[in-house]
Amino acid sequence: MFLFLIYGIFGQVIVEINDSNAYFNVHEGVRSTILQLPHAWDGQLNGTGCELRQKSIQESISQYQIIDFSEEDMEELILVSQDEHRIAIMTSNMRLIIIHKNNLTQKSQYDLSKYEIDSIHQIILNENIVLVITDTTAYVVYLLPISIVEFAEWIPRQERWLTNIYGAFIYTAVGLNGIDIYHLYNLTYFRSINHVDIGQNQLCVKDFTIYKTTLYILDCYSGLIIAKMNSYENVIDFKVRKIDVQEGGIAVDTKNGVNIFVGYKWKLRYAIVEYVVDDTDWRIQNLIYTNKIKDVDVNNEYAIIQGNSRHMVAFNFGTTLSNNIIKYNLRDFELRNNELIGITVTQLFRSQLQLIPLKIDCQIHQDYSKHYSLVYNVSYNGTTIERHHLNFQLNLVSTYLYRHQSYLVIILITLLLCIFTLIIIMIFKWYYNLRKEERKIAKSIKGYSLSIPTSGRTNTQQSSRPFSPSNQHLIINNIQQQS
């Protein structure tokens, strides 16, 4: 590679890089993927016969019937939450359903209607508890063993938005009252974060998220605020930065502290904005108008924008929205890593999301161009952008095997060689053991032959023979005495 130019645009450093020329072999008329670029976030290809396919999400969806809806029984699924091992679903009849991910047929159901819980705003599944949030109070449902406790120190608020659990604390956004913080394990009130802590004349928290020790606040009027928290002796010190003064904030989320996605409503228009932030600067990477936005869920590589019936994907450092995901009318869903759990009125949807990187697919013929130029961008922090220039050439080949078939043949030949080697080893081992047994038998026979006389009888047997030399001498003596 040869680096030939570095310059800055709007706080970004653009590094122009010439990649080494590349050569690929393809079969005429056969469509194949010749190149994948997992770190590239966009690109442009020149040439005919090849197609640059941008990043996309591939879904693997399973759906399960949880309840049966009828005019006699109008129970519906209303809220869902998940942790690493289980899924929690709340129904309109105040039934809490717990489903195990490794066996979705294994369900536990708990009737919470007798506790007179009204207007459930949110549920959060966290290990062996389910936190049930209402507009005025909260309940903790312990699953092992099953019990329910009302949160005695929970403060009623006029507004309540997102509630989430981080470590041993519960954070809940309460509008003009800021953010209330509670201890999770002893169910006590800890403190509130208000406008004084942030250094504002007024604070109206609509949404928030926490990454490591940094709090990202979406204010109703001031837009995105970043507050780094330093804790010591039960005191929290805040270092505050205002990122973008915008009204109409709906939701904010980040999983790396660099790519921050915010949903806004401006008059009758909705927009998703991606901010790229470092320790000293920030910029708007992307601003896309879209349909209604209810929530934003983010993982390390992309964000899912939840609407009423359409849900879309925005990639880190991307330029467009992909609307080819989750074509079902999910009323609530939650993204955890690459697993998305959602519900309709009666069904549970479980989708494994796989990121398909930017790639080049080719299907060429004799009259097509065989020389191509590719420009693609790579950025690991949003500030420094590597703009790669790659020239490549395609060579038409005619073989009896396609690329994936040749791999199979190589694997098959390797297996046959291994089997042949094992057979040879077994034959040598068998021959060695046979020769060893023959030598053992021969040695036994030889030893046995040395210990036996020619007649094959014992010495005792020889002395009892009537015509042995000793008996013959006795017979002669007896004859002489008789005569």
pLDDT of res. 103: 87
Q: Which helix (H) or strand (E) holds 469?
A: helix 469-482
Contact yes or no for 99/82 (Cβ under 8 A): no
Q: How many CA atoms lie within 13 A of 426 on its CB side?
A: 6
- Confidence (pLDDT) at 232: 74
pLDDT < 50: residue spans in the chain: 1-10, 455-472, 474-477, 479-483
Closest CA to 82 of 124, 112, 141, 139: 124
Q: What share of the chain is helix, strand, coil (3-state, %, to 5)?
A: 15, 50, 35
CA distance 79 to 57: 25
The distance of Cα 394 from the centroid of its chain, to the nearest Å, equals 35
Q: How many CB atoms lie within 10 A of CB 428?
A: 10
Can you give the three-state secondary structure of 258-317, one letter per residue?
A: CEEEEEEEECCEEEEEEEEECCCCEEEEEEEEECCCCEEEECCCEEEEECCCCEEEEECC
Of 358, 325, 375, 374, the residue nearest 54 (C-alpha): 358
The DSSP bridge pattern shows strands 339-343 and 332-336 to be antiparallel
Q: What is the pLDDT of residue 268?
A: 83
Give CATH for domain 2-55+358-397.
Answer: 2.60.40.10
Compute the distance between CA of residue 209 and CA of residue 218 in angstroms, rounded to an integer.
Answer: 9
- What's the pLDDT tens digit per position in 19-57? 999 999 888 888 999 999 988 888 999 988 899 998 888
> Encoding tokens for residue 326?
């989750």
pLDDT of residue 449: 65
pLDDT score of 347: 93
C-alpha span between 456 and 448 (Å, rounded): 11
Q: Which helix (H) or strand (E) holds 461?
A: helix 459-463
Buried b (16+ CB within 10 A) or exposed e, 403-423: beeeeeeeeeeeeeeeeeeee
Provide the sign of the torsion angle of the four alpha carbons 349, 350, 355, 360, taken in this order: negative
Q: Delimit the domains of the chain by residue range.
A: 2-55+358-397
pLDDT of residue 306: 87
- What's the rounded Cα separation, in Å, for the pair 432 and 425? 10
**What pLDDT was estimated at residue 9?**
47
Quick check: 211 and 255 in contact, CB under 8 A? Answer: yes
Q: What is the pLDDT of residue 400?
A: 53
- By DSSP bridging, strand 235-244 and strand 269-277 are unpaired
